Amino acid sequence: MVTYQKTLRNSISCTGVGVHSGEVINMTIHPAEPNTGIIFRRIDVATEQAEIPACYDTVSDLIMCTTIENSHGVKVATIEHLMAAFSGSGVDNALVEIDGAEVPVMDGSSAPFVFLIECADMVEQDAPRRYIKVLKEIEVMEGEARAVLSPGDNVSVSFEIDFENKRIGKQNCSFNLRNGTFKNELSRARTFGFLSELEQLKKMGLAKGGSLENAIVLSGDDVLNEEGLRYNDEFVRHKALDAIGDLYLAGAPIIGQFRGYRSGHALNNKLLHTFLADASAWCYTTEAPVRSSNVGGAHWPIQQAAAPATV
C-alpha cells in the first residue's frame, strides 16, 4: 500500500532554553514542499549560510547530543528530540527556523514537540512517501555497546541499558512505531543525568541550561525531581526516543528492526553511515510497512516495556 508524504498545515512557534548553551531560543516550524525533508534555518546568520539539512552526513558533533553543521560552519545542536517527534508523528517535510545554535530542550522529552505538531495539524501531500527498507543485517560495536539494523516488515525499535546506578540498573523496551505508539509510549520520556557529573559537564561547556524542569536528575540512587518518574523504565524509553531521532537522519523512515545495547548518539550515527554505505543492505520503496504487532529477532533478551510509573 502506498502512503503519501505529510507536512504541517500551519506554522507554529515556541520559545525555550538550550540545555547545553543555557540561552533562550525562539523556534518556528513551517510547512515545506514535498521531497524537502527536514531543513533547519538559522535566522540569526547570513541568509546564504543559514540552511542545514537534517541528514546523517551533516552531523558534526555527537558529544551529549546530535549536532548538524553546513559547509559554512553554521550549526544546530540537540536536534534529536525534535527529529524523534517528526519521525513519530509522520512528518516528512518541514522547515525549522531558529534564532540560535541549539533546539530548545523544553521538558527534556519529545512530548512538547508532538503537541506543537498536533496544534499545527498535518496535511497530506501529492507525493508518495519513500521508505528505506533493510535488506540485510548491519551491526556496529564500540566496546560493549552495540547497534543493529536488521530486516523486518515494520518500523521497530528495541533498546537495552545497563547502569551501575541501582536506580536505573538493567532496563529494556521494545516497540513497533505504529498507531500512535511513539506519542503514547515514548514521547514523554525525558533525558537524564547525574548531579555528580554536572560540574564536569559545565567545564566542557555543556548542560548550562540543565535543570529539574528539563531533565531527570539523579543524586546517587535518588531521583531529585519532585514529581518522580513518568514511567518505571523512563530511562531506557528515553534512549529509544533518542535513537528514533538519530535514525530519522537517514532521510526517510527505516522499515526494519533497530536494536541498541548501551548505544548512544555516536554509535547510532556510525550505524547509519555503515548501513547506507552498503548498497546491498537497503533499498528505497514506496510500499508502506506491514502493520504487525510483533517484534522479534533480537540478539539479546528484549522484553515489552513496563507499565507507567505511579510515583
Q: Are residues 263 and 163 part of one domain?
A: yes
Its domain, for residue 248, covers 131-285
Clarify whether residues 183 and 194 are in a common domain: yes
Are residues 219 and 144 part of one domain? yes
pLDDT band at 80 (very low <50, low <70, confident <90, very high): very high
> Average pLDDT of 5-20?
96
Residue 205 pLDDT level (bands cut at 50, 70, 90): confident
Q: Where are the alpha helices (DSSP H) in 186-264?
A: 198-203, 234-247
Q: Is the pLDDT of residue 310 over 90?
A: no
Max distance between CA atoms of the chain, in angstroms, equals 53
The band of 201, judged by pLDDT with boundaries at 50, 70 and 90, is confident
72 is an active site residue: no
Mean pLDDT, residues 101-108 taken together:
96
Query: What is the distance between the alpha carbons of residues 256 and 295, in angstroms, rounded to a whole number?
Result: 10
Q: Is residue 183 included in any domain, yes or no?
A: yes
Residue where a domain stops, chosen among 113, 128, 143:
128
pLDDT band at 90 (very low <50, low <70, confident <90, very high): very high
For residue 301, which amino acid is it? P
State how many domains the chain has. Answer: 2
Is residue 303 a part of any domain in this protein?
A: no
Together in a domain, 165 and 264: yes
What are the residues whose beta carbons fall under 8 Å from the beta carbon of 299, sequence distance 6 or more? Answer: 146, 148, 259
* CB burial of residue 265 (10 Å; 0-12, 13-18, 19+): buried
* Model pLDDT, residue 47: 82
Q: What is the mean pLDDT of residues 102-113?
A: 97
Which CATH number is 197's domain given? Answer: 3.30.1700.10
Q: Does residue 68 sit in the same domain as residue 100?
A: yes
pLDDT at 206: 73
Q: How many angstroms separate the CA atoms of 261 and 192, rounded?
A: 17
User: Is 108 in the same domain as 201?
Assistant: no
Give residue 108's pLDDT band: very low, low, confident or very high (50, 70, 90): very high
16 close to 81: Cβ distance less than 8 angstroms = no
Question: 81 with 161, same domain?
Answer: no
Q: Which pLDDT belongs to residue 291?
A: 63
Task: Looking at the structure, tell me whether residues 172 and 279 fall in a common domain.
Answer: yes
Q: What mean pLDDT is reported for the chain? A: 91
Q: Which of 38, 37, 39, 16 is nearest to 27 (CA)?
A: 16
pLDDT over 50 at 64, yes or no:
yes
Assign 85 a pLDDT band (cuts: 50, 70, 90): very high
- Return the DSSP state at 164: S
Q: What is the mean pLDDT of residues 180-209?
A: 86
Query: What average pLDDT does the segment 117-136 reach?
Result: 98
Map residue 197 onto helix, strand or coil: helix
Provide the 3-class DSSP secondary structure of residue 90: coil
120 lies in the same domain as 173: no
Residue 50 has what pLDDT?
95
Q: What is the pLDDT of residues 265-294, one digit of tens each?
A: 999 999 999 999 999 999 999 999 976 443
Last residue of a domain, one of 128, 152, 179: 128
Angular region, 173: left φ>0, alpha ψ -120 to 50, beta rest? beta
Residues 79, 145 share a domain: no
- The pLDDT of residue 273 is 98
Q: What percent of the chain has pLDDT above 90? A: 83
Point out the catalytic residue in the list 72, 265, 273, 299: 265
On whether residue 91 sits in a domain, the answer given is yes
**Which neighbouring-strand residues pair with 25?**
16
**Antiparallel, parallel or unpaired: β 145-150 and 254-261:** antiparallel
Q: What percentage of the chain carries pLDDT values higher than 70?
A: 93
pLDDT of residue 295: 40
